[in-house]
């Protein structure tokens, strides 16, 4: 009896330790993505103000294009960052990479808030903005993939989907916080105040938030799956070049990388179109005020956050592939009709919000599943690299360029439905990639078991 009681106590202690480690991993994964997307929301929702501050001599449409071009240029370093952070994360640990990525990202964001404007130093201000945005892009390329990998490896197999859905939920929380803050600032500050100093506030907040996130991550342990992989790794691999994970990824898992890139395309375009560009679309194309436009997107984000955990849970029950296919079908069938309804709304805000809520639910079916799908698509020794390269490749090529492309398409075609056609085409491409994949789910993410069936 005593032996049985002792064993039970020991098991309970181990369960408590695992639960505590999982909660810490969840907090660490949450805060970095929150900061990253709080910044991106602030930039996206303040795009007209930033355009006036850094490109004042251009007309309104050129200001928008210039500001979105800087936004898109910040994604140029994402594939490079994905290679570097992925290799570092697989080589030296998820904790190590995540601790440094949040520091660089929050620091570059903070310095954007300190930049002098065009009125003070001319075009040097725009160039400085571009450099800092590119540094952000480099550091952010390790953030989402690292957090998704880290949390997927910590999560219990049967509930990996719902736990890993915290990663996209954290991005939505950052977007929502940025949206609400900008909405509040537009409501209480004058145009002069917003143009002179108000736009700086969201960026300056990244400084203290980044230090808090760095502190949390430094005091974590790496995931059990990663520690097991390192313990079993041959000595020659431990002393190999820092880029060894990339070499192994491209040699042994190129097919998986290409498939996951294709699957990530819909997420990249839909996320940036619906959650970053949409306030500008509602303001510029549908004629609503700026604060009303951001408020509508805030409502969509609340629904998104509420639904994302449900979609993660459903992916645990029905599989990642089925959920991703369902999301593609929803976008293919609904995107153009929903945009038509919004353009015909004639000032009816409730109709626009309802359309955005439908989009939010479709997006969560994809976004609540994708991070787990990507983590399960690669073995432990190249998981960070594979996740980072496929996800950031899609975001660099298609995600970051989405606001610029759809703004240009509207300008060239004169049609407010151009974004809908673009999104539908991307959904079709992602559907083809998903049909070429068969993701596993619910097994241990060990070196031997985590290979995808693609």
Cβ(404)–Cβ(69) below 8 Å: yes
pLDDT one-digit tens code per residue, 33-44: 888 778 877 777
| C-alpha distances out from residue 125 to 53, 55, 113, 163, 196, Å | 9, 9, 12, 42, 14
Q: What are the beta bridge partners of residue 438?
A: 453
Q: Name the pLDDT band for 449 (thresholds 50, 70, 90).
A: very low
pLDDT of residue 451: 40
pLDDT of residue 253: 93
Q: Is the pLDDT of residue 229 over 70?
A: yes
Average pLDDT of the chain to the nearest whole number: 86
pLDDT of residue 27: 85
Q: Name the pLDDT band for 320 (thresholds 50, 70, 90).
A: very high
- Give CA torsion, residues 152, 153, 155, 156, to 10 deg: 120
Rounded CA separation 358/336 (Å): 12
* Contacts with 360 (C-beta within 8 Å, 6 or more apart), sequence order: 274, 300, 301, 303, 304, 307
Tokens matching residue 85: 């952070």
Tokens matching residue 428: 């079709």
Alpha helices in 379-441 (DSSP H): 383-394, 402-413, 418-435
Listed residue (88, 50, 85) closest to 69, CA to CA: 50
Rounded CA separation 427/331 (Å): 6
pLDDT of residue 129: 87
Q: Is the pLDDT of residue 172 over 80?
A: yes
Sign, CA torsion 112/216/82/244: positive
* Contacts with 192 (C-beta within 8 Å, 6 or more apart), sequence order: none
Which is more confident, 434 or 60?
434
pLDDT of residue 421: 97
Q: Is the pLDDT of residue 453 over 60?
A: no
Phi/psi zone of residue 302: left (φ > 0), alpha (ψ -120 to 50 degrees), beta? alpha
Which is more confident, 338 or 299?
338
pLDDT of residue 412: 94
Tokens 């619906």 label which residue?
274
Q: Is the pLDDT of residue 60 over 90?
A: no
pLDDT one-digit tens code per residue, 74-103: 778 888 999 999 999 999 999 999 999 989
pLDDT one-digit tens code per residue, 103-114: 998 898 899 999
Rounded CA separation 156/132 (Å): 38
pLDDT one-digit tens code per residue, 412-438: 999 999 999 999 999 999 999 999 886
Counting Cα atoms < 13 Å in the Cβ hemisphere of 69 gives: 12
pLDDT of residue 445: 65
Q: Name the pLDDT band for 50 (thresholds 50, 70, 90).
A: confident
Tokens matching residue 351: 């109709």
Domain boundaries, the chain: 26-227+244-435
SS3 242: coil
Which is more confident, 110 or 400?
110
Model confidence, pTM: 0.85
Tokens matching residue 86: 């992925």
Rounded CA separation 203/113 (Å): 5
pLDDT of residue 359: 96
pLDDT of residue 11: 46
Q: Is the pLDDT of residue 454 over 50?
A: no
- The fold adopted by the segment(s) 26-227+244-435 is Growth Hormone; Chain: A; (1.20.1250)
SS3 453: strand
pLDDT of residue 14: 46
CB neighbours of residue 359 within 10 Å: 26
pLDDT of residue 186: 85
Sign, CA torsion 201/203/209/215: negative
Cβ(146)–Cβ(89) below 8 Å: yes
Percent of the chain clearing pLDDT 90 (strictly above): 44
Rounded CA separation 302/293 (Å): 15
Tokens matching residue 393: 């490749």
């Amino acid at each position: 009896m005593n032996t049985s009681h002792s064993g039970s106590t020991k098991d309970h202690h181990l369960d408590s330790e695992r639960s505590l480690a999982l909660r810490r991993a969840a907090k660490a994964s949450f805060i970095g993505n929150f900061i990253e997307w709080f910044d991106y929301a602030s930039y996206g929702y303040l795009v007209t103000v930033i355009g006036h501050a850094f490109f004042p001599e251009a007309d309104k449409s050129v200001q928008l294009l210039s500001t979105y071009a800087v936004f898109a240029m910040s994604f140029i370093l994402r594939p490079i960052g994905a290679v570097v952070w992925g290799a570092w994360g697989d080589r030296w640990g998820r904790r190590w990479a995540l601790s440094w990525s949040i520091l660089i990202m929050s620091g570059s964001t903070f310095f954007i808030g300190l930049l002098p404007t065009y009125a003070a130093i001319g075009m040097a201000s725009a160039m400085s903005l571009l450099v800092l945005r590119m540094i952000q892009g480099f550091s952010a390329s390790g953030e989402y993939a690292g957090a998704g990998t880290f949390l997927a490896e910590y999560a219990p197999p049967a509930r990996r989907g719902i736990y890993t859905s915290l990663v996209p939920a954290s991005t939505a929380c950052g977007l929502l916080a940025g949206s609400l803050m900008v909405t509040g600032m537009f409501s209480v500050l004058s145009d002069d105040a917003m143009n002179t100093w108000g736009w700086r506030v969201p960026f300056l907040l990244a400084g203290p938030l980044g230090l808090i996130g760095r502190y949390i991550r430094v005091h974590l342990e790496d995931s059990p799956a990663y520690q097991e992989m390192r313990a079993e790794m041959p000595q020659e691999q431990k002393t190999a070049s820092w880029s060894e994970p990339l070499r192994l990824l491209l040699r042994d898992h190129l097919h998986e990388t290409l498939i996951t890139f294709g699957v990530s395309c819909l997420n990249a375009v839909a996320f940036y179109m619906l959650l970053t560009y949409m306030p500008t679309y509602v303001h510029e194309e549908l004629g609503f005020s700026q604060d009303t436009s951001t408020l509508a997107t805030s409502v969509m984000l609340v629904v998104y956050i509420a639904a994302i955990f449900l979609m993660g849970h459903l992916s645990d029950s029905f599989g990642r592939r089925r959920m991703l296919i369902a999301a593609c079908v929803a976008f293919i069938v609904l995107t153009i009709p929903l945009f038509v309804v919004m353009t015909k709304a004639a000032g009816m805000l409730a109709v626009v919000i309802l359309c955005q809520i439908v989009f939010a639910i479709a997006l969560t079916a994809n976004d609540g599943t994708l991070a787990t799908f990507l983590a399960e698509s690669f073995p432990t020794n190249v998981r960070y690299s594979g996740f980072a390269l496929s996800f950031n490749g899609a975001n660099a090529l298609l995600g970051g360029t989405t606001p610029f492309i759809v703004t240009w398409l509207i300008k060239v075609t004169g049609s407010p439905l151009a974004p809908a056609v673009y999104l539908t085409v991307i959904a079709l491409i992602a559907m083809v990639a998903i049909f070429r994949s068969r993701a596993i789910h619910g097994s241990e993410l060990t070196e031997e078991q985590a290979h995808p069936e693609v």
